[in-house]
Amino acid sequence: MNKFQIATSLIEEHYKDNIVINLSPSYGYRLRCEFGYKNNFYTIYSPSGEIVYLNTFAIARPFIQALMPKLLNQINKSNVLKTKLFQINFRSNRKNRVLVSLIYHKLLDDEIKGLADKIANILDIRINLRSKNNLYSTHCDLLEDDIENLETILYQTDQSFYQPNYFHMPEMVTKAMSFIKDPKDLLELYCGSGTFSLPMRKLFNKIFATENNRQSIRCLNKSIDEQNIKNIFHARLSAEEVSELFAGRVFKRMNGINISDFNFSHVLVDPPRAGLDKDVISLISKFKNIIYISCNYETYERDVKNLKGFTIKNIEIFDQFPNTKHLEIVSLLSRE
């Protein structure tokens, strides 16, 4: 069976209707890519564990594909740039602005910084140089992404999570928004840089968004400030800490936000592949409606089974990662 058959067979115990599967182009879809660097080439590992040498990458966005050999040529003709370089990462926004991170096992001196400035100007890109506890940016290290059909501007850094599929990210958010009926306030766990909470500000009276990653919270705060958003409140809390918050624990990181000031009609969770732990399951079970975004159909099915008294009201699959075993689920669960 392929991944769609496996996923739908697991979910059909909880949802009897047909599940819509949204396919993605197999090439040119990734907005972010990470590579090693060795022997003058980009490197990745094959499924069997062998090193694969590349000078471009077909699943990256076309602008990244075109940039990769040009950047490689600039790096390879400079011993200063090549020496102790071990990783090269790319991030692109929807207007083909690219942030490249060059990661080193050495100190960043003035010479390498000057070379980064020169290459950034030649190739019209932004470059971050990174080594242990050291960062140099040729431009602002935040990359802006204007999602016009969602009327939202998102930000990312090279150390924050960001949905990688150019085609599916806006579609997933739009689909999740279409599931929402009778909204009041929203609690969001694992909010990242605000991919879902920022567009959903137009649906809910107030949103309380939580995330443990400092860089993601920094990006979310930038979006809130730049767009003068008044109804999104946020705190740097893990999902487990949010469970403790609702149990009465006091956190200074709440910065005066009072959880009792919200009237939550929905909770949104977008956890890592490991899914939800028992404390988070216990917390979200207290809400009437759960918007569950999942990147692992096995842990998703396990969590749905543990959410006693809830049924899947709406669900769609998005093939965010074509030609891999991974996919994304967007769903709404409501208490019976």
How is residue 218 annotated by DSSP? Answer: H
Q: Which two tokens stand for residue 280?
A: 């988070």
Q: Quick one: DSSP state of residue 145?
A: E
Is 336 one of the catalytic residues?
no
148 in any annotated domain: no
Q: Are residues 11 and 128 in the same domain?
A: no
Q: Is residue 96 domain-shared with residue 191, that is, in the same domain?
A: no
What was the pLDDT predicted at 336? 79
Predicted confidence at residue 236, as pLDDT, reads 97
pLDDT (0 to 100) of residue 243:
95
Whole-number Å distance between alpha carbons of 6 and 20 = 14
Whether 200 and 325 share a structural domain: yes
**Structural domain for 263, as ranges:** 3-24+167-335
Active-site residue, selected from the candidate residues 191, 295, 301, 316: 295
Which residues of the chain, if any, have pLDDT below 50?
A: none
Q: Does 52 map to a domain? A: yes
DSSP-derived secondary structure letter, 58: T
Can 328 be counted among the known catalytic residues?
A: yes
Q: At what angle do helices 3-11 and 297-306 cross, to 10 degrees?
A: 0
CA distance 247 to 237: 14
- CB 223, CB 194: distance < 8 Å: yes
CATH number, residue 306? 3.40.50.150
Cα R_g (the chain), whole angstroms: 21
Q: Is residue 149 part of a domain?
A: no
| Same domain? 20 vs 80 | no
CB environment 206-239: b (16+ within 10 A), e (fewer) = bbbbbbbbebbbbbbbbbbeeeebeebbbbbbeb
pLDDT value of residue 278: 95
Q: Are residues 210 and 110 in the same domain?
A: no
Task: Give yes or no: residues 239 and 106 share one domain.
Answer: no
**CATH code: domain of residue 136:** 2.40.50.1070
What pTM was computed for the model?
0.94
